């Protein structure tokens, strides 16, 4: 039977093979439409839900790990606060800066150095502390410089040394220069704690 002879108004008269082809085509069309308009969207929702489930599972595992180690974190925090408090206690307040400056100068004199310059500069405020740079130039022997730096490190307050420049006398510019008088120029920085009013 020719396809042109098939009457769509009288499908019941079609041969069995033509009916089967029409049914298969109709089923395929319905299946395609069902997948395209309904199932594909549900698959995308399922994939998003699975991804969200994975992220939530990872977040849960991370929080579970943190909760399991909570006591350790608390102990670590307490230790950090204790260390921070000890470090802050090494920063003098306003009333102690003058005494600290005296300590720095006495440390140099005790090492046998002669001060040619001792010039405190203006304070520079940082986050919770103020930095007080002091330009110093001292004259003495090489080993006295080492004693001076060691003495600064041994002070109960925080003192740092920056931009060190050492020069020897022209007369002693030989292999034994360390034995002769030298000049050391540096910036010594001391620090003090800022109170809440100053921080604001």
pLDDT at 175: 44
| Alpha helix (H) residue ranges in the chain | 16-34, 40-68, 70-89, 94-110, 142-153, 196-199
pLDDT at 38: 78
Plot region of 112 (φ>0 → left; ψ -120 to 50 → alpha; else → beta)? left
Q: Check: CB of residue 193 under 8 Å from CB of residue 97.
A: no
- Give the angle subtended at the CA of 100 by the CAs of 99 and 103, to the nearest 5°: 90
Which tens digit of pLDDT belongs to each residue from 92-118?
A: 666 566 777 788 888 888 888 888 888
What pTM value is reported for the model? Answer: 0.50
148 CB-contact burial (10 Å; exposed 0-12 / middle 13-18 / buried 19+): buried
Which tens digit of pLDDT belongs to each residue from 165-190?
A: 988 765 544 445 555 688 989 998 88
Q: Which fold has domain 94-199?
A: Alpha-Beta Plaits (3.30.70)
Which tens digit of pLDDT belongs to each residue from 10-55?
A: 666 667 777 788 788 888 888 888 877 778 778 888 888 889 999 9
Q: Give the span between the Cα atoms of 73 and 165, in whole angstroms.
A: 45
Q: Where are the domains of the chain?
A: 1-68, 94-199
Rg (CA), the chain: 42
In whole numbers, what is the pLDDT of the chain averaged over residues?
79
Q: How many CB atoms lie within 10 A of CB 149?
A: 19
């Amino acid at each position: 039977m020719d396809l042109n002879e098939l009457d769509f108004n009288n499908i019941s008269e079609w041969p069995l093979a033509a009916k089967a082809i029409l049914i298969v085509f109709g089923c395929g069309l319905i299946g395609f439409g069902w997948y395209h308009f309904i199932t594909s969207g549900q698959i995308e929702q399922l994939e998003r839900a699975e991804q969200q489930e994975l992220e939530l599972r990872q977040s849960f595992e991370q929080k579970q790990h943190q909760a399991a180690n909570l006591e350790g974190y608390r102990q670590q925090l307490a230790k950090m606060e204790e260390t921070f408090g000890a470090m802050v206690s090494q920063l003098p307040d306003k009333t102690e800066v003058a005494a600290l400056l005296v300590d720095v100068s006495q440390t140099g004199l005790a090492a046998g150095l002669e001060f040619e310059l001792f010039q405190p500069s203006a304070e520079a405020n940082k986050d919770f502390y103020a930095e007080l740079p002091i330009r110093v130039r001292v004259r003495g022997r090489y080993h006295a410089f080492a004693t001076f730096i060691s003495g600064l490190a041994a002070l109960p307050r925080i003192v740092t040394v920056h931009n060190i420049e050492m020069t020897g006398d022209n007369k002693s510019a030989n292999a034994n220069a360390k034995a002769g008088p030298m000049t050391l120029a540096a910036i010594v920085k001391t620090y003090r704690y800022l109170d809440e009013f100053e921080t604001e």
